[in-house]
Copies of this chain bind each other. A is one copy, B any other.
């Protein structure tokens, strides 16, 4: 059997009891990212995205007669999908099973915004001097016009090569980079400035209520609610970060967001001001 096992979001103990039992009975266990080998009590083989693409057949080898597990941070079908491994397994006649777990796509509910009030999820990528895509803005705008919240997944750059090293064929990688809530807010504010004069239906402003989230599910997770402008300077700590642009807010959602308000005294006033910016 080929098992795709979600590890959840916090630490090694966020694996499910079922998942851990399976890991311990498997003859081979691969994982996407570093996790605690000691805790799982079995030898783990690191398999980053590149390895999975190049060595999928190796990973699935003999999984029809033995048990093989592939461990994925979050849920196996969360933000990054593992459909390709499933399709290969099925094609090779290998049965598979998925052990689900929390991912940012559902754990984001911890800030108190209702999951069924979210529209399309967007990704915000690192801008460069010459490449500043704005397409996510239009998706946020569409969600907001429909009163929906938008979960923004923030860019991660792992195993990136500098142009110099790439040209020299050197497999030297830049240090990993994780977009912060501050950076995401800055990019959004720049887009708003660009659109201010063109766009009659400016559906997001500096005062739009946003939620910054860091290390969701971990013991030191942080949630901060405030204006988009406040997100530029809020101190969220280390990665991973996500950000939500709110749509229409239900009273119970507002009560929850107040628990995490950057500035509790002004939160209610901000919201009243902001609600006039959407087009309904």
- The smallest beta-carbon distance between A181 and chain B, in angstroms, is 19
What are the residues of chain B within 8 A of A121 when measuring CB–CB?
A: 115-116, 118
State whether A21 and B17 are in contact (beta carbons under 8 Å apart), knowing that A75-B102, A119-B119, A252-B83 are contacts in the complex: no
Bound CA span A8–B101, Å: 7
Copies of the polypeptide in the assembly: 2
Residue A94, interface by CB 8 Å: no
Bound CA span A5–B75, Å: 17
Inter-chain contact B105/A102, CB cutoff 8 Å: no
What are the residues of chain B within 8 A of A255 when measuring CB–CB?
A: 83, 87
State whether A10 and B18 are in contact (beta carbons under 8 Å apart), knowing that A120-B146, A146-B120 are contacts in the complex: yes
Residue A15, interface by CB 8 Å: yes
What are the residues of chain B within 8 A of A217 when measuring CB–CB?
A: 98, 100
Inter-chain contact A256/B83, CB cutoff 8 Å: yes
Residue A191, interface by CB 8 Å: no
Inter-chain contact A109/B17, CB cutoff 8 Å: no
Bound CA span A13–B148, Å: 35
- The smallest beta-carbon distance between A78 and chain B, in angstroms, is 6
Inter-chain contact A115/B17, CB cutoff 8 Å: no
Interface of A (DSSP majority class): mixed
What is the 8 Å Cβ interface bit string for chain A, positions 48-78, against chain B (1 contact, 0 not)? 0000000000000000000000000001111
Bound CA span A77–B114, Å: 8
Inter-chain contact B16/A115, CB cutoff 8 Å: no
Give which listed residue, B75, B142, B146, B252, contacts A107 with CB less than 8 A: B75
Residue A212, interface by CB 8 Å: no
Give which listed residue, B13, B81, B98, B256, contacts A114 with CB less than 8 A: B81
Inter-chain contact B102/A6, CB cutoff 8 Å: yes
What are the residues of chain B within 8 A of A81 when measuring CB–CB?
A: 109, 112, 114, 252
Inter-chain contact B252/A106, CB cutoff 8 Å: no
Give which listed residue, B100, B123, B256, contacts A102 with CB less than 8 A: B100
Residue A270, interface by CB 8 Å: no
Bound CA span A103–B103, Å: 9
